[in-house]
Structure 1
Amino acid sequence: MIGEPEIDGDWHTATGSAGAAEALPGGGEQERERVRGTRRPWLWALGGVVLSSAVWAGTLAVQERFLPDVPRLGYRHSPDVCKEFELKTVGQAAGRAFESSRSGAGMSVAQDWAYCAVSTEYQEGTMQYGAQLLVELHKETDPQAEFATGPGVEPETRMDTSGSLVVSGLGDRAVLDRQYAHDGSRLMVLDGGAVFTLTVQWFQLTKDQTEPDAIDEDAMHAAMIEDMRAVMTKLRR
C-alpha cells in the first residue's frame, strides 16, 4: 500500500519544481513541459494500483460468494473408536460391565465415520445390555437438515422426533429418543459437521415368561449423556 508520506512528498516536489525551472538558465516552457512530463508516469502508476486493487477486491468478493458452506469440524477421526468408548457411567447404571466389542470405520472425501458396538456377557435370567456408538464427520455438506432422523432403515429403528427430548449442554443440538426400538434409548448430538449417535438397548430372557426386571430409565439416560460428553471430549481436537 502507498503510504501518506510518499503521496504528500511527491505532490510537494512536483509543485515546487515549476518555480525551480524558471530560476534555471534557459528555464521556461521547455523546462515546465519536462517537469510536467515526469509527473505523468507516477499518475499512471497510481491509477494502475487503484485499478488492480479494485479488480482484486472484486475477485475476492466473487470467490467468497461462491465458496462452499463447509461445516465446522472440531473433532478428529478415530479409526478404532472403541478405544475412546468406555461407557463407565452407563455400566454403573446397568450394574454390568460391557466387554465384547466390534468396530468399523471408513474415510471418504465427503465423510469420515467410525462405529463401535459393545455388550454385556450373557447370563441367564439377568438383564442383557448392548450399546453402539457411531461418529460421523461431515466434511462437505452440513448435516443439520437431516439431524435426528436416523440412522436406521427399518421404521422402528428411526428417531421418533415427536417424542424426543431436547438435551442442553451438548454440542449445537442434542436430542434423546427414550423409546428407541421399544427396548432402548438413543442419544444424538450435532456439533458443527460432527454427528454422534449413542444407542443403548436392553432385554431379559426368562424361562417362565415372567415380567423382566425393571430398570431406572432416568438414571440410564443421565448416564448416556455423561458418557457421550466424555467421548466427545476425547475426540475433540
Structure 2
Amino acid sequence: MIGEPEIDGGWDGAGPAGEAVKARPDAVRERARVRGPRAPWLWALGGMAVASAAWAGALAVQDRLAGAPRIDYRHSADLCRETGFTTLGQAVGRPFETSETSQGVDRAQDWAYCRSGMRYEKGSVLYGARMLVELHKERDPAAEFASGPGSDAGIRLDLGERREVPGLGDRALLDRYYGRSGERLMVLDGGAVLTLTVEWYQPEADETDADAGVDGDAIEAAMIEDMRSLMAKLRR
C-alpha cells in the first residue's frame, strides 16, 4: 500500500530523499558562487600572456628596425638595363656593346651587378665598366665604406690621389688605380653603397703608353654623371 505521507503530499521534503532534493538547488548555487569568479580571471591571465608576447615581439621588431640604415633606393633585377654607361660612351667616343648582369636578394642585403665592355678594334683603346649596387638592410655600411678593394680583390688603389666628390649621396670618393689603368667611384647614401669602376687597355701599346689618348678628366666627369643618373633612376 501507499503510505499516507505519499498520498497526503509527503513528497514535499518528506524523508531523506526529499531533503536531498531541497538541498540540491542550494548546493548548485553554492558551487556557482565558488566557481564563477575563476573563469574571468583565467581568461584575463590568458589575454595578458598573449598581449605580453605580442608586445615583446613588437619591441623586438622595433629594436631591429631602429638600428637599420636608411634605404632610399629600390633593388634592380637587371642593372645593365638601368645603366647603359651612356655618358661614359660619349666621353670615350665609343658605345659599350657587351654586358652581363647578376643580382641577389637576401635578408641582410640585396645587390645588383652589371659589367659592360667594348668590342676589339685595332688601334683603339678598350674600355670596361662595372657597376655594383648594394642595399644593406640590417647593418650600417658607413664604418667600412671604401676601406677595401670592393668587388675586385686585384685592385690596388692610389689613396694619395683619393678625392671627395660633393653632391653625391652622404659621401662619395673617387680613387685612381695604382699600377693599372682605371678609376673607381664609390657612393654611400644611407644603407646603399654604389660602386662604379672603369678600366682601359691598349692592346698594341707598351706599359709606358698605357694611358696615351685617354682623357682622365673626361672619364671622371662621365663616371660622376652616369652615377648620378643611376641614382635618380633607382630612387624610390
What TM-score results when the alignment is normalised by the length of structure 2? 0.69
What value does the CA root-mean-square deviation take over the aligned residues? 2.5
Identity of aligned residues (%): 52
Residues in 2 aligned to 1:219 and 1:207: alpha-carbon distance in whole angstroms: 21
- Structure 2: segments with no counterpart, 5+ residues: 1-54
In structure 1, the partner of 2:177 is: 179
- Structure 1: segments with no counterpart, 5+ residues: 1-58
Q: 1:211 to 1:232 in 2, by over 3 A?
A: same
The question of whether the paired residues in 2 share the 8 Å contact of 1:166 and 1:174 is answered with yes
SS of 1:157's equivalent in the other structure is coil
Letter of the structure 2 residue corresponding to residue 157 of structure 1: I
In structure 1, the partner of 2:102 is: 104
Residue pairs, 1:192-231, within 5 angstroms: 192-206=190-204, 211-212=209-210, 213-231=212-230
Q: 1:178 deviation in Å?
A: 2.1
Q: 1:192 to 1:159 in 2, by over 3 A?
A: farther
Q: 1:235 and 2:229 equivalent? A: no
Residues in 2 aligned to 1:233 and 1:208: alpha-carbon distance in whole angstroms: 40
Q: 1:153 to 1:222 in 2, by over 3 A?
A: closer
What TM-score results when the alignment is normalised by the length of structure 1? 0.68
Q: 1:163 deviation in Å?
A: 2.8
After superposition, what is the alpha-carbon deviation per residue over 1:167-217, rounded to whole angstroms, capped at 9, x for unaligned?
Answer: 000000000002266210000000000000000000101178883532110
Residue pairs, 1:129-140, within 5 angstroms: 129-140=127-138
Residues in 2 aligned to 1:158 and 1:235: alpha-carbon distance in whole angstroms: 29
In structure 1, the partner of 2:117 is: 119
Q: 1:223 deviation in Å?
A: 0.7
Residue pairs, 1:141-156, within 5 angstroms: 141-149=139-147, 150-152=149-151, 154=153, 156=154
In structure 1, the partner of 2:73 is: 75
- Structure of higher CA gyration radius: 2
Residues in 2 aligned to 1:161 and 1:75: alpha-carbon distance in whole angstroms: 29
Q: 1:136 deviation in Å?
A: 0.3
Q: 1:120 deviation in Å?
A: 1.1
SS of 1:102's equivalent in the other structure is strand
The question of whether the paired residues in 1 share the 8 Å contact of 2:157 and 2:176 is answered with no
Residues in 1 aligned to 2:135 and 2:146: alpha-carbon distance in whole angstroms: 15
The question of whether the paired residues in 1 share the 8 Å contact of 2:70 and 2:191 is answered with yes
Letter of the structure 2 residue corresponding to residue 166 of structure 1: E
Letter of the structure 1 residue corresponding to residue 215 of structure 2: D
